[in-house]
A and B are shown apart, each in its own frame.
Chain A
C-alpha cells in the first residue's frame, strides 16, 4: 500500500494501518520533508464543537484519541486542554453559538455559553469595554476539553511509531503519476524516484489533492487557498487559553515557547504559492489589538502560509473514489489539524477494509452529487 503525503494525516493513517490492521507493507511518499506541509504550518487549535451530528462524531472521535495520544505514541505531543473560547460580537453570533452549545450537548460534546464578564474572567487579557470597541464582545462559547498540541511532535510521533512497525517513510519523493491496469484499478504510482507498485493508494496531499487526483483522471470538489499565520516575539506566560473570533477574523494562543500564535481567514483567491498578502495579516492584527490592547506594542517575528484544500461545505472527504484501489482523505481546509488522530484512524479502516468506518461513512465524494452536504460553512462560517 502507498500513502501519498507525509503530513500528520498520512502518517497517522500509516500508523493505524500498522497497529490496528496489522498492515506494515506500506510506503508513505513525501515530496518534501515529513510534516513540512500544513501540519508544520498550522496554529494547532484542537476542538470538536461542530454543529452537525456527522461532524461532532468525527471531530470528537479525534479529541478522544488526542487525550491518550502521548501515552499511545510514547512521545509527548503536548496536548493541552486549555480551553477554546469563541467570541460572539452580534446577535447572529449569539444565536448561532447558543445553537451550537445545545446541539453539542445533545451529541455529548462539551460546550458552554459565557457572558462577556465570564469570558474576561476566563481570559483576563480580553478587552470587553464596549465603549472602546467597534465590535463589542457579547459573550462566547467555551469548549473546555479543546486546546492545542505541538504540531511537529504529532508528525514525528506517528512517523516514529509507524517506522518502528516496518512502514517505509520516503522523503523527497514526489508522486508524479498514478498507474492503472486494463480494468482501471490502481497498479502503482510514478514518482520522482521511479515506479512503485501497489494495489491500494491513499491520497492525503492536502492543498495538492486536486493535482494528485487529476493523475487518475478524477476531478475534485476542491479549491486550494493560501492560509496565513504569524507569531510574535516570545514573552512570559500571559495568555491562558485559545480565543477565536470568526466575526472579526482573528484567533490567538500562546505557544510553550512563549510566542503568541495568531491567524485568521484564507486569502481571497486560489493559489499554490504558500504565501499570502500582507493586508490579510494587518487586518488580523487590527482585530487582535482591539480585543487585546495589551499586545499593541508587541513585535511580530515571522509569518508564513500554507495551502488548504477547501470543499464547498467546509467538511472533509474521507472516502473511496471512482477508481478501484484509490482512496482519498482531503478537504480539511483551514481546520484539519485537530482531526489528525481521528482522520488517520478512520482512513486506515477505509483502506484496509475497502469500506468506510461508521464515523467517516457520511464524508463521501458522492455527497456533492446526492446533495447530502454536511454544511458546517453555512451553519457557522467557522475557520479552524
Chain B
C-alpha cells in the first residue's frame, strides 16, 4: 500500500484516496472549433510514461479534495504532491524521466 502525502492533510494510506488519471489535461476553451483529431486526442490520448508521471489524486476518505502528484511509474515513488491549480513543480524532471 502506498503512503500518499495529501497537500492538505499530510501522509495517509492509499486506501483513503481515489486515483484521478493524468494531470494538467486542460479542457479546450472552445470545443466546437476543434478538429475531430484534436478533440479525440483531448478525450482519449494519454502520455502513459515509464518514469515520472504528473497525475491527479482525490482524498475521498479525508478532506475530499483533488490534488496533483508526481510519481515514478517504474518504482511508484512519489517525487512531489502539490495543490490543484498550481503548475508542475519547477526543477523536477520531465515525463518519463526517473526520479532517482
Contact = CB atoms under 8 A, between A and B. Distances in A.
A268 B36 contact: no
Contacts of A273: 73-76
Interface of B: 1-2, 14-15, 17-19, 21, 36-37, 39-41, 43-50, 53, 55, 71, 73-76
Contact of A223 (B17, B21, B37): B21
A196 B37 CA distance: 32
B75 A221 contact: no
Contact of B48 (A220, A268, A369): A220
B1 A279 contact: yes
A224 B17 CA distance: 19
Q: Which of A222, A223, A224, A272 has the most CB of B within 10 A?
A: A272
Given A270-B48, A368-B40, A277 B19 contact: no
Nearest to A275: B76
B45 A220 contact: yes
A369 B53 CA distance: 24
Nearest to A277: B1
A221 B45 contact: yes
B36 A272 contact: no
24 contacts: A208-B50, A210-B46, A210-B48, A211-B50, A219-B47, A220-B45, A220-B46, A222-B48, A223-B21, A224-B48, A268-B17, A269-B71, A270-B48, A270-B55, A270-B73, A272-B50, A272-B74, A273-B74, A273-B75, A279-B1, A279-B14, A279-B15, A312-B44, A370-B36
B55 A269 contact: yes
Contacts of B49: 210-211
A271 interface: yes
